[in-house]
Structure 1
Amino acid sequence: MNLMQEHIFELQYALDTFYFLVCGALVMWMAAGFSMLEAGLVRAKNTTEILTKNVALYAIACIMYMVCGYAIMYGGDIFLSSITGDGVAGAEEPATYAPSADFFFQVVFVATAMSIVSGAVAERMKLWVFLAFAVVMTGFIYPMEGSWTWGGNPVFGMYTLGDLGFLDFAGSGIVHMAGAAAALAGVLLLGPRKGKYGADGSVQAIPGANLPLATLGTFILWMGWFGFNGGSVLATASVGSANAVAIVFMNTNTAAAGGLVAALLTARLMFGKADLTMALNGALAGLVTITAGPDTPSALQATIFGAIGGVLVVFSIITLDKLRIDDPVGAISVHGVVGLFGLLLVPVTNAENSSFAGQLIGAGTIFGWVFLTSLTVFFVLKLVIGIRVGEEEEYEGVDVAECGLEAYPEFVSQK
């Protein structure tokens, strides 16, 4: 390598590493988005606990992925050897960016998957049970399915998903559907909130406490998604990669817009009102839809895909309520149902690198693994210490029972 080539490589290395770190920081900011969204959609008496869960799960994810998660997923030894500019011991060296940047970018994805669980089990799961599950989810369950997908390892030594035609560009299935699978396992064992469903089968609406916060959370997630999808290009310091990043950003944005408008119109036709919560979930549904393949559709296709996801999420939320599956924030519908839909759309615009059969096998593998292992962990926790707060604590609100303080003390009547 001559001196000019060496300088070009160093510049490319620096630019790609910087881009990777900035995108990782944007994805980390999504933790704030989930916190605000969930805090806005739960009742005031449960706000402190939901915020505690979100900030704690992020810290747990960072530690567990360092201790063992990254090694399980990619084979690198991080816990026993320091991460340096020279690389991560035992890991395959990236071509044009620092290994430490790769670890940082991957760890914020782990936290995103765990954040999905938080909202679905809100208002009735014990705080310490949730945090105990977070240890297992981020340290073992997610890294295992990640090793079969992005890690490229055979599933239980039998088959490689990539060879079967499975492709998930940024994680509609690997991150979002996985988080929803774990959430579904927890919700099924927990049961619905008190008063959510009547004896006659009716569904009682339980409004969130702060829709401005929920809207802020959605905008934060929308912005963070540019790092989520854009960072998954893995480079930006060449003409080809820069163009790819621009396409991914464009499609991510327009899919969210399509999802929001379609969900808003669907809610208006079904309920006769412009339902803000459905519109917010529609935007998120559009984002989840495009995440599996934001690099190949045209802008119009991305808008249409997002719009279909926005319509789908409205019907999914209604259907889950009819099945008495209580999800306070609609996480299972947004990330699970729409996550699967996003995977199935990939072959529409990228048939060369994926197939419908491969996408179905990959989705079944991810969902089956995460759901069954999560169900097992939650069931063991239920047997050992119980996973649900008491009826009186649920009525009073888990803020006082679990955290000892209220988010809005001035607005709570003294007893």
Structure 2
Amino acid sequence: MQLSDLSRGLDTVWVVLTAAMILLMEGGFALLEAGFVRQKNAVSIIMKVFVDIAFGALVYYLIGFALMYGKDAFGLIGGSGFFMRGDLAHLPVNISHETYWLFQCAFVIAVISIVSGAAAERIHFRAYIVYTIVMTGLIYPISGHWIWSSGGWLGKLGMIDFAGSAAIHALGGFAALAAALFLGPRLGRYGAEGKVNIVPPSNLPLASVGAFVLWFGWFGFNSGSTLSATNAAIGHIAVTTMLASAAGCAACILFTILRYQKADPPMVINGALAGLVGITAGCAYVSDGAAILIGAVSGVAMVLASEWLEGRKVDDPVGAFAVHGVSGAIGTLAVGLFAQPGAAAHAGLFYGGGWRLLGVQALGLAVVAVWGFALTWVTLRLIGWWRPVRVTADEELVGLDVSIHGVPAYSQDRDFIDIDLLRQSDPFPPKQR
């Protein structure tokens, strides 16, 4: 066996393994979001995760991968590789095109899963399927091409986004914000005269386990982006990932104690995730100390962003925008400040690289944020011409598990449930509404 064959084999095993770790994160999304929403909508949110995986993988195989990594046209879009056929020889990887597709497929599934949490408890299931197809087939692949393909215009300018603080998390976060604004708040979430009604999570232990699964999968997310089992940076990437997530979590614990006199469990859970999102762009390029700072700032900013949204009556049940949109923005800009010479193609501002990289990072962030927000809003508007995007008030009050899927998440210890009766039931008679 030649050394090149051995290297290719090791890289293939590494990429497949880390792709599987990223796919396992969907279990984390399912548990996290099911724990954050009310019991009557737990099945609904898990069904959306299945849509993310099933439709996301198929659509990305058919058209998304080609638009993202196909032969470049004017730096804007790929034009080869549909159905994984045609010209893909330009891909600079030491693994097969199918292996590379598998890894990127895990990424695209993560993007759409960000949006599902912001739209939880009120988006219609069929409308969500259509939106998933558009996001995984058009919205994400096209903006991803600008950053990550060999001919993308943002990549040519010098934008750095190692594992996707902008390409995945800022895009998904701002798309989530658009979805939350388009759908409006859940019934009863905000009262008269600006009163905020808290909707407590249904199962915080479940959400915590979901966060731990996401935490584990993130090491595949970041370290796997080397696409090489022999890359010496893998260890450093794993360390910065761990430090940033720990700093985000610790910062939220301390900040919520100071702010609320209690460590807020949902905020602490999201704080760890905010640190992970923040370090994703620069995990290979920044120092350990910078990783701690990025994670801590991301965690505190997530809390403040959550409060800001709540004050403006924007209902985001799982904090998708605060975690992914805000922390993704911080992580993207942080590369322009902390990228170390030799590690990145261009050094950051604090390492003598001047303002150029920070400016490119800011431009790329703005483009991706506007693209994700605007295309999501337009897509949901177009879907609304075909069928309602939001469920009816009665369906929302009963819960989407029963009204849309015909089955509750918990059987209440009964041996049998009359599904027909449940489908017709309404626990909120008119006089109580």
TM-score normalised by structure 1 residue count: 0.92
Partner residue in 2 for 1:310:
299
Of 210, 214, 224, which residue of structure 2 is paired with 1:217? 210
Query: Structure 2: how far apart are the matches of 1:34 and 1:183?
Result: 14
Residue 81 (structure 1) shift:
5.4
Query: Structure 2: how far apart are the matches of 1:312 and 1:185?
Result: 20
**Superposition pairs of residues 35-50 of structure 1, within 5 angstroms:** 35-50=30-45
Partner residue in 1 for 2:309:
320
Of 382, 393, 396, which residue of structure 2 is paired with 1:394? 396
**Superposition pairs of residues 228-377 of structure 1, within 5 angstroms:** 228-237=221-230, 241=231, 243-350=232-339, 353=346, 355-377=357-379
Asked whether the equivalents of residues 336 and 359 of structure 2 are also in contact (C-alpha less than 8 Å), the reply is no
Asked whether the equivalents of residues 121 and 400 of structure 2 are also in contact (C-alpha less than 8 Å), the reply is yes
| Amino-acid identity (%) | 39
Gaps of 5+ in 1: 1-5, 83-87, 155-159
Of 380, 386, 390, which residue of structure 1 is paired with 2:382? 380
Query: Structure 1: how far apart are the matches of 2:203 and 2:195?
Result: 25
Residue 182 (structure 1) shift:
1.4
Residue 372 (structure 1) shift:
1.1
Asked whether the equivalents of residues 74 and 91 of structure 1 are also in contact (C-alpha less than 8 Å), the reply is no
Residue 167 (structure 1) shift:
0.9
Asked whether the equivalents of residues 61 and 83 of structure 2 are also in contact (C-alpha less than 8 Å), the reply is no
Asked whether the equivalents of residues 168 and 293 of structure 1 are also in contact (C-alpha less than 8 Å), the reply is yes
Q: 1:200 to 1:216 in 2, by over 3 A?
A: same
Partner residue in 2 for 1:116:
114
TM-score normalised by structure 2 residue count: 0.88
Residue 101 (structure 1) shift:
1.1
Q: 1:318 to 1:383 in 2, by over 3 A?
A: same
Query: Structure 1: how far apart are the matches of 2:197 and 2:118?
Result: 17
Partner residue in 2 for 1:409:
411
Which deviations, in whole Å up to 9, do the C-alpha atoms of 1:367-407 show, x marking residues without a partner? 11121111111011123211111111111111111100000
- For residue 46 of structure 1, what is the amino acid of its counterpart? N
Q: Please tell me whether residue 24 in structure 1 is matched to residue 4 in structure 2.
A: no
Q: 1:91 to 1:131 in 2, by over 3 A?
A: farther
Asked whether the equivalents of residues 75 and 91 of structure 1 are also in contact (C-alpha less than 8 Å), the reply is no
Of 148, 151, 155, which residue of structure 2 is paired with 1:150? 148
Partner residue in 2 for 1:157:
none
Query: Structure 2: how far apart are the matches of 1:64 and 1:93?
Result: 20
Which deviations, in whole Å up to 9, do the C-alpha atoms of 1:21-44 show, x marking residues without a partner? 111111001111101100000000
Gaps of 5+ in 2: 72-79, 349-356, 426-433
Residue 299 (structure 1) shift:
2.0
Asked whether the equivalents of residues 66 and 78 of structure 1 are also in contact (C-alpha less than 8 Å), the reply is no
- For residue 96 of structure 1, what is the amino acid of its counterpart? N
- For residue 243 of structure 2, what is the amino acid of its counterpart? T
Residue 296 (structure 1) shift:
2.2
Q: 1:80 to 1:125 in 2, by over 3 A?
A: closer
Partner residue in 2 for 1:60:
55
Query: Structure 1: how far apart are the matches of 2:11 and 2:268?
Result: 35
Query: Structure 2: how far apart are the matches of 1:236 and 1:255?
Result: 23
Partner residue in 2 for 1:72:
67
Q: Secondary structure at the match of 2:58?
A: helix
Query: Structure 1: how far apart are the matches of 2:67 and 2:170?
Result: 20
- My pick for the range that moved more, 380-389 or 250-259, is 380-389
Q: Please tell me whether residue 11 in structure 1 is matched to residue 6 in structure 2.
A: yes
Moved over 3 A (4+): 76-82, 88-91, 411-415
